[in-house]
Chains A and B, each alone.
Chain A
Amino acid sequence: MGRIVINAALCKGCYLCVEACRKKHIEIDDHLNAQDCYPVREAPNTECTACPRCATVCPEAAIEVFHD
């Protein structure tokens, strides 16, 4: 099992990570960040496999991935 840490302050809301995740573990937050973007967050009740496709496509290097 895995876990991700999103640096929401860096997120610009391109949502490429949302598309990249096969487990639908990432969703769009409903609060704006300091860059005036709706950043991404972990979706509740979903799992992370630490694959790490989301971090791979993130242009802001805003996602860290951990594996048990």
Chain B
Amino acid sequence: METNVFKRPQALTDTPTHYCPGCGHGVAHRLVAEAIDHFGLREHTVGVASAGCSVMMYKYFDVDTIEAAHGRALAVATGIKRTHPELTVFTYQGDGDLASIGLAETMHAANRGEKVCVIFINNAVYGMTGGQMAPTTLLGMKTSTTPTGRSLHREGSPLKMAELLSKLDGVAFCQRVSLHDPDQVYEAREAIFRAFEAQLEGLGFSFVEVLSACGTNMRMKPSDAQKWVANQMCQAYPLGVFKDDEA
């Protein structure tokens, strides 16, 4: 008897994505959709999209979605979850959105313990606008606005959001994962499932930082971009569980 051991999740639509070949968004979308399927949340979820490449995620997720202004996804999520606590609410944000322009919203939503899930895609660069420096750009890394590389004395060091947020009392679950090989994707899947579980149990703010490759802006082919994430990103951003109130 043949069994289907891997299929496209129901919470994804059939629409082909607009993402570049090898972009991590596709995998991260699928993992979120798998969590929505797993917990039976397709008809009970609102996703909040942020400004950036993933702003069009409404095309790809077969759940209710709303588009937030740049950096304000967690304020929008707060408005939804506070008025409708029965809904499962997640935000899907890039590094510019969550860690730069939306830093205040991120810190305060986390500190209030808003019962929402945050999927934070850290690819060390501004993707949609064409590869400018992000708050998470690595030291020495060249971008279109740091032509000689990010300098500690000029731009400061990369913001480590998982470490920062794990210090806040309102955060129930906080983990950093990567998507650079199949085993890492399995880990990421577990983390995203636990983040949704934490919300369903009403534990508080749950946060998954996902290290992801932007091959296009790194000027690398997809497999090389994955290796770069494994070798460079994972060194600057250690993977692991930083907080888990369930454990």
Contacts and interface: CB of A to CB of B under 8 A. Distances in A.
Interface in A20-35: 20, 35
Interface string B168-187: 00000000000101100110
Contacts of B1: 68
Interface in B6-46: 6-9, 12, 16-17, 19-27, 29-30
B195 to A, nearest CB: 19
Nearest to A10: B16
Contact of B182 (A9, A10, A53, A66): A53
Residue of A15, A37, A61 with most partner-chain B CB within 10 A? A61
B25 A59 contact: yes
Interface residues of B, number: 31
B7 A57 contact: no
Contacts of A9: 16
Contacts of B6: 52, 55-56, 63-65
Given A19-B223, A35-B16, A59 B24 contact: yes
Contact of A60 (B4, B7, B16): B16
Contacts of B29: 61
Contacts of B21: 12-14, 37, 59
A9 B16 CA distance: 9
A34 B187 CA distance: 33
Contacts of A15: 222-223
Interface in B112-161: none
Nearest to A59: B26
B36 to A, nearest CB: 13
Contacts of B25: 59
B4 A64 contact: yes
B8 A57 contact: no
Interface in A32-68: 35, 37, 50, 52-53, 55-61, 63-68
Contacts of A58: 26-27
Given A9-B16, A57-B27, A16 B22 contact: yes
Contacts of A65: 4-7
Given A57-B27, A57-B181, A60-B17, A66 B4 contact: yes
Given A9-B16, A56-B6, A65-B4, 8 more contacts: A12-B20, A13-B21, A14-B223, A52-B6, A59-B21, A61-B8, A61-B9, A68-B1
Which 6 A-B pairs have CB atoms at the shortest separation, nearest pair first?
Answer: A59-B26, A14-B22, A65-B6, A14-B21, A14-B222, A12-B21
